[in-house]
């Protein structure tokens, strides 16, 4: 197969885009989790609010992490390159006519 006969599979590209997007969101959530500090006085109410925020962020991080792992597993089942003849009609390249 020549290099011009194969292209990146659109399904693979979609999975890669979703993975990059989710990984960026996950990194921002982790940064927010690490940056969250108790800056007010230590009182029962303040500590309780702080813990709730930390728990909420941790649950979001766990959820995003599992979703990211699932997407990566699904992407493994998709071929990275496919022949141009196997591409859907709307994804095929049009020849330029002069």
Per-residue pLDDT reduced to its tens digit, 40-77: 788 888 889 989 999 999 999 999 999 999 999 999 99
| Residue 2 pLDDT greater than 60, yes or no | no
7 strand-pairing partners: 82
DSSP the chain: --GGGEEE-HHHHHHHHHHHHHHHHHHHHHHHHHH----S---HHHHHHHHHHHHHHHHHHHHHHHHHHHHHHHHHTS-SEEEGGGS-GGGSPPPP--
11-19 mean pLDDT: 94
Q: Which residues pair with 33 in a beta bridge?
A: none
Instruction: Tell me the pLDDT band of 82, cut-offs 50, 70 and 90.
Output: confident
pLDDT of residue 44: 87
């Amino acid at each position: 197969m020549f290099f011009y006969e194969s292209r990146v599979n659109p399904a693979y590209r979609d999975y890669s885009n979703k993975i990059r997007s989710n990984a960026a969101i996950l990194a921002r959530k982790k940064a927010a989790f690490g940056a969250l500090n108790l800056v007010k006085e230590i009182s029962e109410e303040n500590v309780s609010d702080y813990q709730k925020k930390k728990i909420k962020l941790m649950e979001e991080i766990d959820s995003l992490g599992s979703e990211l792992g699932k997407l990566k597993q699904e992407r493994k089942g998709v071929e990275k390159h496919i022949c141009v003849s196997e591409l859907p009609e709307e994804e095929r390249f049009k020849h330029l006519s002069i």
